[in-house]
Amino acid sequence: MRSLLRQLFYLGRRGRFDAELDKEVEFHIQTRAEELQEAGLTPAAALAQARREFGSGARMREESRAAWQWRWVEDLFADLRYAARSLRRNPGFAITAIACLTLGIGANTTMFSITKEVLFSRPSVRAPETMVHMEIGGNSHAPIREFRFLRDSHFFEALAGENEEQEVNWRHAGATERLHGVRVSDNFFAVTGIPVALGRPIQAGEETAAVLSHDLWERRMGADPAVVGGTMVLDGRVYTIAGVLPRDHRTLLGFGFAPDLYLTVPGEGGLLALFARLPDGMTRHVAIEKLRAACAALDRAYPDPDHKWVENIRVSAVAGVARVRGDEKVMVVAAFFGVLMVVVGLVLGIACANVASLLLARASSRSQELAIRLSIGAGRGRLVRQLLAESLLLALAGMAGGLGVNVALTAFLSRIRLPLPLPFQFLIEPDWTLLAYAGAVALGTCLVAGLLPAIQSVRSALQAALSRHEPRSRTRLRNALVAGQLAVSTVLLCAGLLFLRNLMQSYRMSPGFDVAQTMWSQMRVVPEAYKEPAKLRALAEAGLERVRGLPGVESAALARVVPLNINLRMGVSVRTDVSGRPVHIQYNLNYVTPDYFRTMGIPLVRGREFLAADRAGAPAVVIVNETVARALFGQTDPIGHYIRFDWGPSQVVGVARNSKYFTLGEESAMAIYEPYSRMSEHRADVQFLIRSKGRPEGLTAAVNAALGRLDPTAALETKPMSQALVFALLPSRFGGAVLGSMGLLGLGLASIGLYGVLLYSVSRRTREIGVRVAIGASPRNVLWLVLRHSFGLVGVGLAIGIALGVLAVKPLALFLIPEVNASGAGNFLVVGASMCAIALLATLSPVVRALRVDPVAALRQE
């Protein structure tokens, strides 16, 4: 240990050490010279003899120094300096290699950052390891009364509740806007320890307080610190703005969920999800037992014959790996990101192969130098280490560039608000884990890209220098690298092309209803003002009348569900009057007014739309889609027949053409429509669907004005249907964008590699080409010769790649819409053709150059 310290100490004072050693040697020589002088020699002769006796100082100095050196660190620095010099002398090579690595490492680390943020984000609470999420009675949320019982019984040190799916209407400056909020119990901030940037958190006892998100404060309040302590009108009530959250706030829900504000729970109604802080050392098992006891007490206090809170209890972690492992839905997302990581890993692999073949090519030009060093005694391991130092330098430069790409990309991504019904925003910040990961990737890259070429070059250096001929093993390695690169990029290109086609198809694809001329206007009223359903119904009908009266509106209707955004699924057993057998069906349910099908452009293949007469109290009627008609009635015309549900029979009055109800990828789903007026759900929102005569954008203002006048406290959002479908298209858009760009990136990298290799191999054959031309070969022969070699390479790579590609795209079919055939031959043909085209381009330049070579010069060239 002490010698280690001494060695470290030495590293710092190397210059001084050399000077001191010199002085020591000088003293020795002087003393000997004095002795010789006393023996009778002249001073000059004595000095000369003393020096002669001492001998060559170089070896002695080196050995003395060696006693102190930390050998391999010194060597490493020397190697790095040498490598830097030689890279500076070959800027083209260096830039190409560093560019490849930058792209590969950049893509890889960016995907790592995104994955880490989406799956493993740490909520901004104090000590998230001690917080748990509790579900009782099989429900995700518990009513307030039960929450208060559990909290006050102090089974747990601290219990807080929150409900994240809340919307509120914010009235300000004469306009009403819909905000997404999280309703929390008054002890929520105290229990979780969520920090605020301005003002203070919501405190115990407060009934109307709110804490704003940083984004809302910046965007809509101009980042004015004076709003803290002021008020805002939410759902008709006045709330105090207690504080503003910091910019890097992350919710307990995670996944980038970014609500606009936190606010208190209103009065008695409502549900809360339970979060508890466990005391130090309490494991989840103990917590579950305590919860069980607590729920048993709860059941005793509020007995309910149908439902017991003590059943189906779950306690899950709130952050980190434990949270991912505990939830199946999260595992699916995790699997998706796993696929993406593999894809970028492949891209990085291609970049490595590129750099490896570049290094191999370069090593050939240094074979003479290596041979000389080997012959004067350098160890093979030492030379390999030196070559590795070069790839280490490249890898470090690539890492720096890659991190730059990462930071730029993630900063850009963090600014985007995803177009989902709930507000999501990535908050990706670089931290030490990113650096560690990038370092590991860079090191791995250095080894993968550099080790094999280094070993190869050294092994064949002597042989190469002697025979001027590239050893076959190295050629084989390089060819293998290029073929491998081509194979991997072929696979990537297949997947990428597939997703791009999917993307284009889904743009062109009709979801079964009209997207060009329809609009969707979503109105949300203040729930407290509309406690009776009749009031809301009256409002909705008045709105419908007004909208229908607008010029430019062809028709309008109301619907409970707007397709491709949310859905209502029912799974029931029904009987028909045609066959008494019970059939279990799962269908999408929607409540619609008359004119719905006309407005949406969904043709009715049989029967009629709903009429005003089909309301509550009248005989029950339904409209079914073709799939249901076929399933329940076969070839018979269902019109006039009855479907017997659990709650009574309904007569079928119409059959609608199939369309898409929840995702674009579904096929022949079932759907049943019921009249809007029969809807018994107590809701606070109304969805208006409008068909315009011309372009829908022109009507937005008019619709907003007409509906806005009905109730100024209601929030209104109107948009053309094409914009509303963004959420439905999101997965395929995201997949298409990522995989498509990865495919192109991989192709680009492979092209660079292919170009470099072909260029180099042709230049090595210049002499041979010169000989051939001299003895009479025509340019066409030479061309054919070279093309044959490169196409042989490309052929092998393509064959392997397409074989792998066929296997690889099968699991991807899950993510595609049915109209796109994953295993279609067309896809592979396109990929093969483009690879051949690139190979042709990559070969032509070196060949043309080779042909222009003067045969005499080629013969003389060595």
Partner 1 sequence: MSRTDALQGSLDLLVLKILSRRGPLHGYAIMTAIEEISSDVLRVEEGSLYPALHRMEETGLVRAKWVEKESGRRARSYELTAQGRKQLESEEARWVAVTGAVQRVLRLA
Minimum Å distance from CB 92 to partner 1?
A: 45
Q: Does 53 bind partner 1 (CB under 8 A)?
A: yes
Binding string, 67-96, against partner 1, x = CB under 8 A? Answer: xx----------------------------
Q: Could you say which of 18, 20, 289, 311 contacts partner 1 (CB under 8 A)? A: 20
Part of the chain binding partner 1 (CB under 8 A), chosen from 29-37, 510-518, 606-614, 813-821: 29-37
Give Cα separations from 207 to 239, 323, 427, 433 (angstroms).
Answer: 8, 32, 31, 41
Q: Determine phi and psi for 736, rounding to 5 degrees.
A: -60, -45
Residue found under tokens 């030490």: 432
Pick the closest to residue 610 from 654, 547, 574, 641 (CA basis). 654
Q: Based on CB atoms, which residue is closest to partner 1, 59 or 508?
A: 59
Query: Residue 143 and residue 179: Cα distance in Å, rounded?
Result: 23
In 176-309, alpha helices (H) = 188-192, 214-221, 284-301
Minimum Å distance from CB 51 to partner 1?
A: 11
Q: Could you tell me if 140 and 162 are in contact, meaning their C-beta atoms sit under 8 angstroms apart?
A: no
Pick the closest to residue 253 from 197, 199, 209, 194 (CA basis). 194
Q: Does 3 bind partner 1 (CB under 8 A)?
A: yes
Q: Give the burial string for 174-200 (b: 16+ CB within 10 Å, else e).
A: eebebbbbbbbbbbbbbbbebebebbe
Give Cα separations from 767 to 457, 760, 834 (angstroms).
Answer: 22, 13, 32
Q: Based on CB atoms, which residue is closest to partner 1, 30 or 510?
A: 30
Minimum Å distance from CB 50 to partner 1?
A: 10
Binding string, 274-293, against partner 1, x = CB under 8 A? Answer: --------------------
Part of the chain binding partner 1 (CB under 8 A), chosen from 15-23, 197-205, 614-622, 777-785: 15-23
Part of the chain binding partner 1 (CB under 8 A), chosen from 49-57, 474-482, 560-568, 827-835: 49-57
Three-class SS state of 556:
strand
Exposed (0-12), middle (13-18) or buried (19+): which is 358, by Cβ within 10 Å? buried
Minimum Å distance from CB 48 to partner 1?
A: 16
Q: Determine phi and psi for 858, rounding to 5 degrees.
A: -65, -40
Q: Does 6 bind partner 1 (CB under 8 A)?
A: yes
Q: Could you tell me if 146 and 460 are in contact, meaning their C-beta atoms sit under 8 angstroms apart?
A: no
Q: Could you say which of 8, 14, 16, 30 contacts partner 1 (CB under 8 A)? A: 30
Minimum Å distance from CB 77 to partner 1?
A: 20
Q: Does 775 bind partner 1 (CB under 8 A)?
A: no
- Contact set for partner 1, span 189-228 (CB under 8 A): none
Binding string, 416-455, against partner 1, x = CB under 8 A? Answer: ----------------------------------------
Q: Does 63 bind partner 1 (CB under 8 A)?
A: yes
- Contact set for partner 1, span 797-856 (CB under 8 A): none
Q: Could you say which of 12, 15, 40, 55 contacts partner 1 (CB under 8 A)? A: 55
Minimum Å distance from CB 31 to partner 1?
A: 5
Minimum Å distance from CB 36 to partner 1?
A: 13
* Total residues interacting with partner 1, rule: CB under 8 A: 26
Q: Does 21 bind partner 1 (CB under 8 A)?
A: yes
Crossing angle of the two packed helices 14-39 and 43-54, in degrees rounded to 10: 130
Q: Does 32 bind partner 1 (CB under 8 A)?
A: yes
Angle 233-237-240 from CA coordinates, rounded to 5°:
65
Assigned token pair, 555: 């028709």
Angle 90-96-98 from CA coordinates, rounded to 5°:
95
Q: Could you say which of 13, 14, 16, 23 contacts partner 1 (CB under 8 A)? A: 23
The DSSP string of 802-833 is: HHHHHHHHHHHGGGS-TTS-TT-HHHHHHHHH
Q: Could you say which of 27, 72, 412, 784 contacts partner 1 (CB under 8 A)? A: 27
Exposed (0-12), middle (13-18) or buried (19+): which is 646, by Cβ within 10 Å? exposed
Part of the chain binding partner 1 (CB under 8 A), chosen from 19-27, 184-192, 314-322, 379-387: 19-27
Part of the chain binding partner 1 (CB under 8 A), chosen from 18-26, 440-448, 473-481, 737-745: 18-26
Q: Which residues are at the interface with partner 1 (CB under 8 A)?
A: 2-3, 6-7, 20-21, 23-25, 27-28, 30-32, 53-56, 59-60, 63-68
